[in-house]
Amino acid sequence: MRETTDGVDDSERSDSFDGVDVLDGSGASSVSGPSGFHPSLRLDDSPARSVLNRSVLRDRLLLALFRTLTAHRPYFRDGVESPPFEAHREAVELDLSPLDGVDERDAPSLDGDGGYEGSYDVPAETLAGSLTAGVRVARWGGVGAPTVVWHHGGGEYPFDRTFDVAFGDEPDGAGTAQSADDALHPDVPDDATLLVVRAPGHDRRGGITEVGATLSGYLATMAVAVDLTERLLAWCRPCRSVVAGYSLGGFVANRHHLAFDSADAYVPVVAGCAHAEIFLSSWPAARSARRRADRLRERLNFADEWADRDHPTVHPVVGLYDCLNRFETQVPSYGDTTPDVWPVGHFEGAVAGDRLRAAVLSRL
């Protein structure tokens, strides 16, 4: 898939912005460090944020639409009092019994008859109450197979839509790997296991705004996804593993890295370490919650924790024109970790199947 932003085919462009090289369409080159980059840099008044830029225009229009549709149920409308994320994670209790027997099969099910490909609910007990997560086994390659664990975006419904765009066999992402092995893109290794984690609140449209009525519920949702990822990796015992995700899924991947660092590689796409800033600017939380900006930043941001460690296994991607997880906010939050920069907006990146697939599989 070729993504365009200003009428120029990405395969023909190689831009730079304030010391950060923008990847061309191949997705294969690396970027230079953000020399001279400072968190105070704002793109809102620059050509990169111009409404004449189609990527920016698309993001702004869609964000305005979604904010309007959810205005009556903003995030954290019922309170921002919550234990820290780590307390949520340590308290998670998962029931993986629905997956009993899946790991007894040593080879993928090629015909889909009696195989384990499909979706499974995973009940969870948390500090915010009982929640239900899920796992889609898009392909089961057997114990020890190279494994990808994918995390969806916030509010994404169906939860595996972006996964299908990247790894399905149809150009428009309509392909699914629920039963037939050949439904995956031919770039996916034949022996690989592909798992999609469904965070609580994503089994129905708008469910995340119910779970996210409180900050505690939102943190519990992420904690379940992080803990479930670790349980899945222990369950699969892969020879090599990649944990990846888009938007909220990227924040979950980063959180798993900080908590466990048990995957061989991490590919967080259009995310970062400044999670609270979304709810203070591009997708405003309830007014009462925004008055507690200090609490939101204390509980959701983790840039300081990130700065205390090295991250050689993390390969972030950010969107230059992203109006949700903003480039000028998330790049500095990564500190010395240099992200790849794609010339895309937030919603444009979600349909960039070739880019997403290459970014993940190149680390497998």
Could you tell me where the beta strands, DSSP code E, fall in the chain? Answer: 16-17, 20-21, 93-94, 118-126, 129-139, 147-151, 193-198, 241-246, 265-269, 317-319, 340-342
**pLDDT for res 8:** 30
Which two three-digit tokens encode residue 300? Answer: 């959701």
Residue 61 CB partners (closer than 8 Å, separation 6+):
none
**pLDDT for res 170:** 66
**pLDDT for res 73:** 94
Tell me if 69 is assigned to some domain. yes
| Interatomic CA distance for residues 120 and 243, integer angstroms | 19
54 CB burial (10 A radius; 0-12, 13-18, 19+): middle
Give the number of other CB atoms < 10 A from CB of residue 333. Answer: 24
Q: Which residues of 228-254 are buried (b: 16+ CB within 10 A; e: fewer)?
A: bbbbbbebbebeebbbbbbbbbbbbbb
Tell me if 52 is assigned to some domain. yes
Tell me if 5 is assigned to some domain. no
197-224 per-position pLDDT tens digit: 999 999 999 899 999 999 999 999 999 9
- CATH number of the domain that residue 250 is part of: 3.40.50.1820
Q: Cβ(31)–Cβ(20) under 8 Å?
A: yes
Q: Cβ(279)–Cβ(301) under 8 Å?
A: no
Tell me if 313 is assigned to some domain. yes
> Cis peptide leading into 47, omega within 30 of 0?
no
**pLDDT for res 5:** 32
Give the number of other CB atoms < 10 A from CB of residue 114. Answer: 7
Tell me if 3 is assigned to some domain. no
Residue 133 CB partners (closer than 8 Å, separation 6+):
94, 121, 122, 123, 124, 197, 198, 199, 200, 224, 225, 228
The DSSP call for residue 174 is: -
Identify residue 329 by its one-letter amino acid code: T
Which two three-digit tokens encode residue 184? Answer: 């995956």
| Interatomic CA distance for residues 182 and 177, integer angstroms | 8
**Domain range for residue 222?**
10-361
Q: Give how far the C-alpha of residue 18 lies from the chain's centroid of Cα atoms, to the nearest Å.
A: 26
The DSSP call for residue 154 is: T
Tell me if 1 is assigned to some domain. no
**pLDDT for res 2:** 33
**N residues, the chain:** 364
Give me the number of domains the chain comprises: 1
Q: Cβ(273)–Cβ(334) under 8 Å?
A: yes
**pLDDT for res 22:** 45
**pLDDT for res 97:** 87
**pLDDT for res 124:** 98
* H or E segment and range at residue 130: strand 129-139
Q: Cβ(179)–Cβ(112) under 8 Å?
A: yes
Per-residue pLDDT of the chain (364 residues; tens, 9 = 90+): 333 333 333 333 333 333 334 444 433 333 333 333 333 334 444 445 555 689 999 999 999 999 999 889 999 999 999 999 999 999 999 999 888 766 655 544 433 333 578 899 999 999 999 999 999 999 999 889 999 999 999 999 999 999 999 999 865 444 444 434 448 999 999 999 999 999 999 999 989 999 999 999 999 999 999 999 999 999 999 999 999 999 999 999 999 999 999 999 999 999 999 999 999 999 999 999 999 999 999 999 999 999 999 999 999 999 999 999 999 999 999 999 999 999 999 999 999 999 999 999 999 9
Q: Cβ(268)–Cβ(253) under 8 Å?
A: yes
Could you tell me where the beta strands, DSSP code E, fall in 144-261? Answer: 147-151, 193-198, 241-246
**pLDDT for res 183:** 83
Q: Reduced to 3 states, what is the DSSP secondary structure of residue 257?
A: helix
Tell me if 211 is assigned to some domain. yes
Tell me if 252 is assigned to some domain. yes
**pLDDT for res 98:** 83
